[in-house]
Structures are given as structure tokens and as C-alpha cells.
Chain A
Amino acid sequence: MALEVEDLRVHYRTLRGDVRALDGVSFGLADGEIMGLAGESGCGKTTLGKSLIRLDGRMRHVGGRAVLDGGELPIADDKAMNRRRYRDVSIIPQYSMSAMNPTRKIGKLTADLLRAKGESFRELRPELVRRLELVGLSEQVLDNYPIELSGGMKQRMVMVLSTLLDPSLLIADEVTSALDVSNQKAVAETLVRFRELGFVKSMVVVTHDLSLVYQIADSIMIMYAGRIVEKGPADTIINAPRHPYTRALIEALPEVGLEYGDRRLKSIPGKPPQLLNPPTGCRFRDRCELAHDRCIEDPPAVDLAPDHTASCWKVVD
């Protein structure tokens, strides 16, 4: 196991109380695994991704732990975490378009960052150039300012920059959201290539685009209201989902080759619960067609196959 997360709890501090964005999340990630992390907005995907690399000022680590390659990640300790960032855990942020300092040339920026991490830019430069060419960027971009690059180029530049020190775990947070479809496909394929070339060992791809993540991920994990509802191999999740929420999500996707005509795609009625005071029991029960009395209690995580789990009372029966 490259990454083991156990009962991770991260809350957002607000004036009205703690918002439980991650409320007991446990999962494992194998060496070389690409895991897609999906769910609707506000379900805790990005919070989970951020928790593994850097809590922002409003986030508070309440409980649980994460172990990466046998060593514990000091999630709550910003200083200790600094040594692990970039080398062991790295991130491609949601905001790649604005991730680079606009007033510094990209080469200078990279050199500043590497020097601050105690690496030599001169030694790493040939490797950097090689990787740039791999994603279709010329060495010349190092003499450019970020504003001189197109959105897709900036995205690829950040991908190369984030993975330059060969991190063990890479968090790719909504990397394709701001791109057009052809770029999305290219970026997704680049992520897979990075793993095959050993630039990164394993990857968590945070997305709300299930159809895209299906093409590159080995496994998919679905989150709902701060909890994991189902995790399994990508094929199983897409073709034979067991949790009612996963099913509803997949039914909301259009399918290639089907004529929809007047028929509307299904959407999930209602909206996710407030996480300030989350309801007890199954959090999806208000929107679930299959809900029954038992759902007032917390559903257990049931192993349906060695690597397929779902948290639902219906699955138990």
C-alpha cells in the first residue's frame, strides 16, 4: 500500500461552528494506482486532496491519520509537513492557470522553488527540459512569463513542475475542469504517462467528470457529504455500481450511441445535507429511493469483493 488513510476527520472552522467536510474517511491506495475521486460539489473531494498535502488556514485536523510509504504524514503539523511536500506528496492544483507568479519568468520561478527546497536547478535542468518536450513544450518556455503561455500550456507546465521531484503521491485536483475537450483528453493521457514513466507512483485524481476519470483510473472512489459511499475498480463502479448514490450519479451521465430525443437525463432530486450539523445515519437517505427505517443508523462499509466496498444497508441485505 502506498497510502493508507484511516478515519480522517477534517473540519472547517466557521463562526457558526465546525463544518464536517471530512467525517471519518478511510481508504487505501496501492503502489502505482490511479484513483479517481468523484462526487458532487461540496462532498469533500477537494478537502480530502488538500488534507493530504496542506491544510489551509480554516481547516482543522480533528482525527485520523494518513500513512504514506510506511511513514506517517504529519497532516496537522505544517512545519513537519513542509519536508514531505513536493518530494513525497505533490499537487496539481485546480487553478493551474494562475498558479505561477505572473511577474517572474518560468525558469526563474522554477529555480527559486528548487533552490528553496535544497535542490540544484542546474542539475535538474536537463531532466526538466526532457519532460517539457514530453508534454510538447519547448525549452524556450523557461524564458517566458506565465502570461505568454496559453491555458493548455500553463496546465502542462504546472504538471511538469509539480512532478519534477518524482513524488510518491500526486493529487490532481480538477485538472481538466478549465480545459476544452481535446485538451482534457491530452491532460488525462499525460497523467497516465507520468505514472508509466515513474514520475509519480500513485495518484488521486479529484474530478466531477466521471466519464473522463473512467478512461484513466484503475479505481474510483465516490464521496457524499464528507464520507466515502463506494470504492471499487473503475469498471465495476461504472458498469455495476451498488450504492444508490453511485447509481444515481451514473444514470445522470449521457451515453454514447443512445438517442435521447425528448427523454431527459435523470438528475438526482434534492441537494446534499448541511455539514454543519449533519443528519445521523445514512446521509443520502433523504434523496434515496430505496431508503427505509434502518437508514437512520450509520450503514457499515461492506466488502462486496476484495477491492470493492459500499456503505449501504441495502447492500447488506
Chain B
Amino acid sequence: MGRYFRRKLLIYGVTFFIAVTINFAIPRLMPGDPVARMLNRHSVSNSESAAALRTYFEDVFGFDVPLWQQYLNYWTALLQGDLGVSVFAFPSPVSSVVLDALPYTIGLLVPAILLSWIVGNGLGAMAARSKWLDNSVLPLGYLLTAVPYMWLAILLVWSGGVLLDWFPAARGYSLSMQPNLSWAFFVDLVHHWFLPFLSLFIVALGGWAIGMRNLVIYELESDYSNYLQALGAPRRLVRRYAFRNAMLPQISGLALQLGVVVGGALVTEVVFAYPGLGSLLLNAINNQDFFLLQGILLFIVIGVLLFNFLADVAFVLVDPRTRLGLEGGQS
């Protein structure tokens, strides 16, 4: 088992290294010059002071050294926890900008992923044994998974926010409020959180329900189910075994789905103007903010790798077949 995890950690390490390298390269391959943009923003007309400012900024951002050295500097700083200075929110450091936005994204993503997973699996398992439910859940599930995140988000903004006016259509909290630890602010936060959460929850739900339905049906028709039924075991026992075995692929599916949901969350945040990583990412791109862009992507990469690793661990714990495969079995 130890060898398995050492190998896994190595693979995750290599993935992390490649991801960080790509992360470094992509903003630099994008067209445009961030320093020129900053100079524009400061509207410096005097060419002499413009040149001085340019040297200053290039020094601050570390653009005055060759690319390979920038790359090495990037790694050194990264390992010290320094992600650079944001261009767009100058002079705040990237880490604090990202950490401000992170709770919003996590607060949106984690409940949406887990609740849709739990509810979807329950719904799918029920659909597998009831003709009536199957006939309604299955088409609905296909419809929901096929819906693009942003389209559903726009639909929800329009219906729940504009037409019915039950929920605010944008932002993480009301403009009139300042973040604090009061009950009123919390209620306001949840009120704003609901629609974006719902859009992520609904789209993910359909996929889980369809997957679980198919898996349970497959397990119910497997040899061990047939054998139990031939020996007169009650449906309850057969279903319990089928459900437990069908859950195994769903656990690894949870990790795989994560990358997709993160992408969906980014788009959803933009639609709802929700102050999470997604909106921040859009701002970073619009302002050609290399460091912020890199910082956000780094957090996403770390998040996806972390969840995948957790799923690996969970899978080994719940499925004896993987566990025994690692230990070489015994008999």
C-alpha cells in the first residue's frame, strides 16, 4: 500500500510540475503587454517619465531578466509562497487577492458538488427499481446534463432574479453591506448564494442520476445478484449489495467530474457577477494580469489534484479489489 501511495504522490508531483510550467508559459504567450496597459491606465504622457515608470514596473514584476531566469524566479517565489504582485489590483499581492475570492468559490462548489452527488445517486438508485421514476428521471437527467452551465445560469437569473424577483440577480452580497459576522450579513450572503448554487447543482445532478441508474441496473443483473435471488434472498439484501457496488465507480467519478465542475463554476460566477475565482479570472484576463492569472490557475490546479488524491485514497479504502491488488493478495 505504501508503495502505491508513493507512486501516486510521484505522479501528482510530476503533474503539478507540468501544470505550473504551463501556467508560467500561457500568460506570456498571450498577446499584449501588461506594463504598457498599466502605463495607459496611469495616463503618463511624458515620454521620459513613461520610460522611468516602465523600468520601475518591469523591475517590480521581474520582466527585466531573460525568460529562463523569470521561470526560475517564479519557482523560487512560488516555493516561498510568494505569487507576485497583482497588476490589476496593484499593489496588493496576488495571494491575498486570491484568498479573498477563494471562500466564495469553495462555498459555491463544495455544497453543489457534494449535494448533487448525494441526491443524484439516491435518485438514480431509486429510478433503477421503479419503472415510473425511471421514465421521468431518465429523460430529465439527459436534458439536465446536456444543458450548458451558463445557459442555465442565465435562465435562472432571468426567471428567479428578474421575472419573479425572489433572489438578487448578481453579486455575492448587497452593495449596501460590508462583510461582517452579523446574522443579517449571513442571511444576505445565503440569499445571493442560492441561485448560482442552484445552477451548478441542477446541471451536475442529472449526470449523477443517469450514471447511478445504469450502474445499479448493471449490478442488479450481475451474477451475484442472480445467485442471491435464486437462493431466495430478499430484494432488500440484493439491492443493498448492488447499491454498494454501484457506488464504487461513482466515487472515482466524483474526482473526475471535479475538473469539469470547476470550469462550470468559473462561468457561473461570471454570469452572476459572483466575487469568486471565476470573476477574478475574467478580470485577470481582461487586464492581462499575468501574476493574478497564474495565481488563480495554480489554486485550481492544486484543488483538482487534491480532490483527485482524496478520491484515490477513498477508493482504496472502500474497494477490496484495488486494495488487494496493491497488497498482492493472500490465499
Contacts and interface: CB of A to CB of B under 8 A. Distances in A.
Nearest to A94: B223
Nearest to A141: B331
A103 B248 contact: yes
Contact of B230 (A53, A144, A145): A53
B2 interface: no
Q: Which DSSP category, helix, strand, loop or mixed, fits chain B's interface?
A: helix
A99 B223 contact: yes
B234 A116 contact: yes
A164 to B, nearest CB: 10
B174 interface: no
Contacts of B40: none
Contact of A83 (B226, B232, B244, B320): B232
B226 A113 contact: no
A103 B321 contact: yes
B321 A102 contact: yes
A99 B224 contact: yes
A162 interface: yes
B230 A85 contact: yes
Interface in A286-313: none
B227 interface: yes
A91 B231 contact: yes
A101 B244 CA distance: 10
B165 interface: no
A103 B320 CA distance: 6
Contacts of B228: 101, 113
B227 A100 contact: yes
Interface stretch (A127-135, A146-154, A265-273, A274-282): A146-154
Interface in B85-107: none
A101 B232 CA distance: 16
Contacts of B236: 116
A82 B232 contact: yes
Interface string B270-312: 0000000000000000000000000000000000000000000
A103 B325 CA distance: 13
Interface string B216-259: 00000011101111111110110001001100100000000000
Interface residues of A, number: 35
A84 interface: yes
A136 to B, nearest CB: 13
A116 B245 contact: no
A91 B237 CA distance: 19
A93 interface: yes
Contacts of A53: 230
Contacts, number: 80
B319 A103 contact: yes
A154 to B, nearest CB: 11
B331 A149 contact: yes
A90 B231 contact: yes
Contacts of B321: 102-103, 145, 147
B320 to A, nearest CB: 5
B330 interface: yes
A90 B228 CA distance: 11
B232 A95 contact: no
B326 interface: no
A225 to B, nearest CB: 25
Contacts of B331: 144, 148-150, 153
B248 to A, nearest CB: 7
Nearest to A138: B331
A245 interface: no
B324 A93 contact: no
Contacts of B222: 98
A98 B224 contact: yes
Most buried by B among A81, A102, A149: A102
A54 interface: yes
B299 to A, nearest CB: 36
A162 B320 CA distance: 24
B241 A162 contact: no
Most buried by A among B226, B227, B229: B227
B329 interface: yes
A104 interface: yes
Given A93-B230, A101-B224, A102-B321, 4 more contacts: A86-B231, A95-B223, A103-B320, A113-B233
Interface of B: 222-224, 226-234, 236-237, 241, 244-245, 248, 319-321, 324, 329-331
16 contacts: A54-B230, A56-B226, A90-B231, A93-B223, A98-B223, A100-B227, A103-B248, A116-B233, A116-B234, A117-B232, A145-B320, A145-B321, A145-B324, A148-B324, A148-B331, A150-B331
